Structure 1
Amino acid sequence: MLQVNKFEHLRIRLIDIKLATNNFSKESRLQYTNSYIVYKGDLECFDREYVSSLENKKTGELPKRRYNNVRIKRINNANPEAMFHTEIEVLSTCKHKNIVSLLGFCDEGRHKILVYESTDMNTSLQECLGKYPWDKRAAICYFIARGLNYIHNEMEDQKVVIHRQISSKTILLHNEQCIKISGFGLSTFLSSNQDEDAGHLHKNLLDPISDWYMAPEFRETGKATKESDIYSFGLVMFEILCGIPYPLYRRSDAELRSEHWFTYGTIKQKVAQAIKEENYDNKLFLKKGPNEDSLDTFIKITEQCLAVNPQQRPTLQVIIKQLRKALMFQKSHKDHMRMAFKDIESATQNFSRANDIGGGGFGRVYKGKLASEHGSYTIVAKRLDTRLGQGDQQFYNELHILSEYKHENVIGLVGYNNDEQERIIVYEYASKGSLDNYLNDASLTWINRLNICIDVARGLAFLHGGVREHEAVIHRDIKTANILLFDEWKAKVADFGLSLICTISDETDYVIDYPCGTPGYLDPLYQKSRILTKESDIYSFGVVLLEILCGRSTYEVYKHEGRFLLSLVKQRLKEGRLAEVVFNATEDQIVRQSLTTILVVAFRCLHNDREKRPTAQDVLVQLQKALELQVKDVPVSKEP
């Protein structure tokens, strides 16, 4: 039995657990096995750590604490009680980010219940072995090794814990950065002068799956060591490498042994196909598959962990060092977009004037031809000129966003160079240039214009909400000059030098920053309050919608009339003379319902109250509606 006084502060009443799980209802159930059932719930229980006297207990005034999304494991009575007690004793002393956190336990009557801090950690590594790319797989192993090293070598009071059941099933994860070791029911403590646990472990206590991961000497003697844990971890790394649970290999071929693959050099043939085919969306420079040095380092340390002789297995400190090395090699490999300056210089003919196609606050932009093993490609290189006021921050900001956030309506990153004083970003080539050059071009039909608006809205919707959970990219400089056009008028959002990544939560969805952007497109609320939100981009997009409708840029209107386009359109609308500002070359092409839809969504985008502005997704839906109305009833153009 547990030492009551020692673990009293972890005891949780059964009635509180029943309330958290709605009396162990099926709706609260997360996982079911023959050994245990896992539930989720919000738990409110007595905070025993702060109980200081018997008097408080008598008056019933114990303070309470609330825990959200706890993970509650109700253990089958067939399980030995010692396993339940062992897990409590081990986890109550483990405080590490890669070890599951025990909140408390309940042992009232026949109940044996363990309560953990989060339901997020409810997926085993075994369930998602094929999910992650190579660098994430290596990182997962690195974090597992950190957790193992803690229980072997870094616990307080020189305590040492041998896990004895390391497998991909006992590794829980929420994502590749949140990895925790669980399953401590058969673990054992070693004294500081002890090399192996003294007790013999009977095989009938093991989970049938865990039996496959046992080191040969552990299987033979029933006594575990640090080295036997390392062997089990080696098999987990083997699974990570191959993308399939190890027992499936063993069951498919009774003679198959992972060590044979290393001995005969066939292990690389067994690497998961998903890893071999990684290409990071870069067709110009990257050969398929992970970095060779990273893969070789990982394979070598895996082989060492699986040595038959325990004394030949590496320590966890060595394993961590080698996994860090594998990650470093892969990070360098992922830096495949880094291009040699001489290659960019050659592609642009030494940044010649003939190849200079424009410039701005960042520097000059050059067109070029880049040779590769796949043929010749047209690219655009933007070369930083620090004398023009924008510098390293904008360069790395844009590089980070374009390398992480890829979408068909966001300009594609080809590569970059940051040698010494050089800062160059290389993009895919937009065959038709920027949208501002076509505003008053009659060849750009109304349907073309609608499709361009839809592309931009789709790109913005991705940046604002479709990138990552709880993150948004706010562009801060949406304008027609930053919308690039490709064949068949496909549009992509470009120029992210001023953009910011904003964390979205229930409490905050804004950034306080000095206003920046382009006059005429800049959200007045952002300019006045310095509060930047996604709605600031929506305002700028509203200006773009008016420009496309009117065939004039807001800057040109200001230049000739001393006011921006929005002011002009509002006045003409008020005077009933809106037709005067609609681009005359497309006026006869526009269906009235389509025109009305565009005007309504544009003015909603430009609303003075940001709370009343639509989301990018809302704008996209309305633009698609305008296109449907247009296609449904296309007017016949008047004869010239």
Structure 2
Amino acid sequence: MILVYEYMPRGTLADHLHKLGTPLSWCQRLKICIGAARGLDYLHTGTGIEFGVIHRDVKSSNILLDESWAAKVSDFGLSIVSPKNQASTYVNTLVKGTFGYIDPNYFATGKLTRKSDVYAFGVVLLEVICRKRAVDNSLDCGIATWAQDSIKAGRLKGIVDSDIRREISTKCLKQFAKIAERCLDNYPKNRPTMAEVVLSLEYVLTLQEKTYNLSQTASKTIFGRMVDKFSFSDSGQNSGIFQSPHYVCAGSVLSWSYRFGIELTEAQ
């Protein structure tokens, strides 16, 4: 069997986070997470038939990016078909996946559920905000344990990638961390569905855009008061006073798409 994809010119999310050092803004990262979450939600429950797909190898290197940075889930080599009408349905199978992303409950019991994908996606969320690998040599443990311990110790801001630390509002950071923590819960039943993850991430994006718009309005108000207080010449010397912001969230409408041409056999 062969699975043919459209060409994804920007490669993988892992490339940009860990190899290329691409300067990704916080809004870009959120939109990538939302796109990937939508893809997984489609696999789990949106196929239009009685069966869904458990990916079983969710990780940043299996999230591809197109020219517009839209994210698409890839690599179904370990995927398994399962009934989608029962959230607790599991498949007894040999444990397979990538170290650092494997659901501990699945590892201990051999019972694979859609919530195993949710756990792995929680690790991806941490990669996105921390810019550290799932198994990072700079840490004494995996990123999931390190981040959860840091959050419990009140060091939430300390785990954030320094490139985006100033962009994230405190409220958005707390909400994003809460989503990741829920995905990484030791008990699968306590983890959200991917549909819930999508809605939660969209809420975080809305909060971030609202915070940015408020800060822009405040800046304009302050500048307006300055204009009232001081006079400026028309010589053009002050024409550069407004500079394009380094960080811009352009609108709340997300552009995303996903297309799957999947033919699966039961994984061996």
Q: TM-score range by the shorter chain?
A: 0.7 to 0.9
- Residue number among 149, 170, 183 corresponding to 1:592 in the alignment: 170
1:106-138: per-residue Cα shift (whole Å, max 9, x none)? Answer: xxxxxxxxxxxxxxxxxxxxxxxxxxxxxxxxx
Describe the SS at the equivalent of 2:138: helix
Describe the SS at the equivalent of 1:516: coil
Residue matched to 1:620: 198
- Residue number among 109, 115, 123 corresponding to 1:535 in the alignment: 115
Deviation at 1:488, TM superposition (A): 1.8
Identity within the alignment, %:
39
Deviation at 1:442, TM superposition (A): 5.1
Q: What letter is aligned with 1:479? A: K
- Residue number among 54, 57, 67 corresponding to 1:487 in the alignment: 67
Describe the SS at the equivalent of 2:4: strand
- Residue number among 171, 175, 183 corresponding to 1:605 in the alignment: 183
Aligned: 1:630 with 2:220 = no
Deviation at 1:540, TM superposition (A): 0.2
Residue matched to 2:142: 564
Structure 1 pair 455–507 and aligned structure 2 pair: CA distance change class (3 A)? closer
* Cα distance in structure 2, aligned partners of 1:566 and 1:508: 24
CA contact (8 A) 1:484 1:494 kept: yes
Deviation at 1:426, TM superposition (A): 3.5
Deviation at 1:578, TM superposition (A): 2.1
Describe the SS at the equivalent of 1:561: coil
Residue matched to 1:573: 151
* Cα distance in structure 2, aligned partners of 1:611 and 1:508: 8
CA contact (8 A) 1:442 1:586 kept: no
Relative to the length of structure 2, the TM-score reads 0.75
Q: What letter is aligned with 2:156? A: L
Describe the SS at the equivalent of 1:628: helix
Aligned: 1:428 with 2:10 = no
- Residue number among 67, 81, 95 corresponding to 1:515 in the alignment: 95
* Cα distance in structure 2, aligned partners of 1:573 and 1:444: 23
Residue matched to 2:254: none
- Residue number among 23, 40, 51 corresponding to 1:443 in the alignment: 23
Matches within 5 A, 1:37-186: none
What are the ranges of 5 or more consecutive residues in structure 2 without an aligned counterpart? 217-244, 247-268
* Cα distance in structure 2, aligned partners of 1:504 and 1:442: 37
Deviation at 1:427, TM superposition (A): 2.1
1:390-445: per-residue Cα shift (whole Å, max 9, x none)? Answer: xxxxxx4xxxxxxxxxxxxxxxxxxx4xxxxxxxx432111110000122535211
CA contact (8 A) 2:83 2:89 kept: yes
Structure 1 pair 432–490 and aligned structure 2 pair: CA distance change class (3 A)? same
* Cα distance in structure 2, aligned partners of 1:581 and 1:589: 14
Structure 1 pair 426–507 and aligned structure 2 pair: CA distance change class (3 A)? closer
Structure 1 pair 579–442 and aligned structure 2 pair: CA distance change class (3 A)? farther
Deviation at 1:615, TM superposition (A): 0.4
Describe the SS at the equivalent of 2:61: helix
CA contact (8 A) 2:106 2:116 kept: yes
Aligned: 1:465 with 2:33 = no
Q: What letter is aligned with 1:618? A: E
Q: What letter is aligned with 1:471? A: F
Tell which structure's C-alpha radius of gyration is larger: 1
Describe the SS at the equivalent of 1:489: coil
CA contact (8 A) 2:129 2:160 kept: yes
Q: What letter is aligned with 1:529? A: T
Deviation at 1:607, TM superposition (A): 0.5
CA contact (8 A) 1:485 1:492 kept: yes
Alignment: residue pair count: 214
Deviation at 1:575, TM superposition (A): 2.6
CA contact (8 A) 2:44 2:84 kept: no
User: Which 4+ runs in 1 deviate beyond 4 A?
Assistant: 505-508, 635-638
* Cα distance in structure 1, aligned partners of 2:56 and 2:170: 32
Deviation at 1:508, TM superposition (A): 6.4
Structure 1 pair 604–507 and aligned structure 2 pair: CA distance change class (3 A)? closer
More strand by share: 1
* Cα distance in structure 2, aligned partners of 1:451 and 1:469: 28
- Residue number among 472, 478, 485 corresponding to 2:58 in the alignment: 478
1:446-487: per-residue Cα shift (whole Å, max 9, x none)? Answer: 000000011011111110000133211000000000000111
Residue matched to 2:105: 525
User: What RMSD, in angstroms, separates the aligned Cα atoms of the two structures?
Assistant: 1.9
Matches within 5 A, 1:350-361: none
Deviation at 1:611, TM superposition (A): 0.5
CA contact (8 A) 1:442 1:585 kept: no
* Cα distance in structure 2, aligned partners of 1:575 and 1:546: 17
Relative to the length of structure 1, the TM-score reads 0.32
Deviation at 1:513, TM superposition (A): 0.4
CA contact (8 A) 1:458 1:616 kept: yes
Deviation at 1:583, TM superposition (A): 0.4
Describe the SS at the equivalent of 1:562: coil
* Cα distance in structure 2, aligned partners of 1:565 and 1:547: 8
Residue matched to 1:544: 124
CA contact (8 A) 2:87 2:114 kept: no
CA contact (8 A) 1:450 1:623 kept: yes
